[in-house]
């Protein structure tokens, strides 16, 4: 079973993430931040990951950052099994009404040696969407990629911040679903 459970506790936050790569898209996410819960649930649905996230802490910035770190660590642990047959690359382009997001990932070489890189062109125009500050969004992806040891490229454009960010999380889920597929032709 390609899955992992990671708990992380600091003076600021307590975060638990359970991630199963070969799931059915069942997300149960409770961070106390409604828009972030919506995004992580969407990520699980479109990635066909089973994802349980429980997070609490002092400030929403800390909760989102530490959830990104914990999710990254869980992802890295989950792909360790059968890594030699894991596909590695994945990409997706997802429209959402007037917005569009594209995501390409490289989840790393067979050896799993820790490289990570993040390139983000998110075109976020407003500082606030629902109950989060949008400056945390690039921070989330940087932290996630660094701890998952993956290369992540994301571009987005559109008019509506909610749509743009939601298209990004869907694209990330679909790209990671492809990249984590088992490729039986790999020997
Ligand atoms: Mn929505």
Q: How far apart are CA 58 and CA 39, in angstroms?
A: 20
Q: How far apart are CA 117 and CA 151, in angstroms?
A: 5
Å from CA of 38 to ligand 1 middle: 7
Angle between helices 34-47 and 161-179 (to 10 degrees): 40
Å from CA of 165 to ligand 1 middle: 9
| Domains in the chain: boundaries | 3-179
Å from CA of 84 to ligand 1 middle: 36
Å from CA of 142 to ligand 1 middle: 22
Beta bridge partners of residue 51, listed in sequence order: 19, 27
Q: How far apart are CA 70 and CA 59, in angstroms?
A: 16
137 Cβ contact list (under 8 Å, min separation 6): 122, 124, 165, 168
Å from CA of 138 to ligand 1 middle: 18
Kindly give the confidence (pLDDT) of every residue in the chain, 187 residues in length, as a single tens digit, with 9 standing for 90 and above. 899 999 999 999 999 999 999 999 999 999 999 999 999 999 999 999 999 999 999 999 999 999 999 999 999 999 999 888 999 999 999 999 999 999 999 998 766 667 899 999 999 999 999 999 999 999 999 999 999 999 999 999 999 999 999 999 999 999 999 999 999 998 7
Which superfamily, per CATH, for 3-179?
Imidazole glycerol phosphate dehydratase; domain 1 (3.30.230.40)
Q: Kindly state the helix (H) or strand (E) to which residue 5 belongs, with its residue range.
A: strand 3-9
Nearest Cα residue to 35 out of 177, 164, 153, 155 = 164
Å from CA of 162 to ligand 1 middle: 6
Q: How far apart are CA 131 and CA 128, in angstroms?
A: 7
Q: How confident is the model over 53-105, as pLDDT tens digits?
A: 999 999 999 999 999 999 999 999 999 998 889 999 999 999 999 999 999 99
């Amino acid at each position: 079973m390609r899955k992992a459970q990671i708990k992380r506790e600091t003076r600021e936050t307590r975060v638990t993430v359970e991630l199963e790569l070969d799931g059915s898209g069942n997300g149960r996410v409770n961070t106390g931040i409604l828009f972030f819960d919506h995004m992580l649930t969407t990520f699980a649905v479109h990635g066909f990951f089973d994802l349980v996230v429980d997070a609490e802490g002092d400030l929403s910035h800390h909760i989102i950052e530490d959830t990104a770190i914990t999710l990254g660590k869980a992802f890295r642990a989950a792909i360790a099994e059968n890594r030699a047959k894991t596909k590695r690359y994945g990409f997706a382009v997802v429209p959402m009404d007037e917005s569009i997001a594209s995501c390409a990932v490289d989840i790393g070489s067979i050896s799993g040696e820790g490289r990570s890189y993040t390139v983000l062109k998110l075109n976020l125009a407003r500082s606030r969407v629902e109950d989060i500050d949008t400056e945390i969004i690039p921070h989330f992806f940087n932290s996630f990629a660094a701890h998952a040891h993956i290369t992540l490229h994301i571009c987005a454009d559109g008019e509506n911040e909610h749509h743009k960010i939601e298209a990004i999380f869907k694209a990330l889920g679909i790209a990671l679903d492809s990249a984590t597929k088992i490729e039986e032709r790999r020997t």
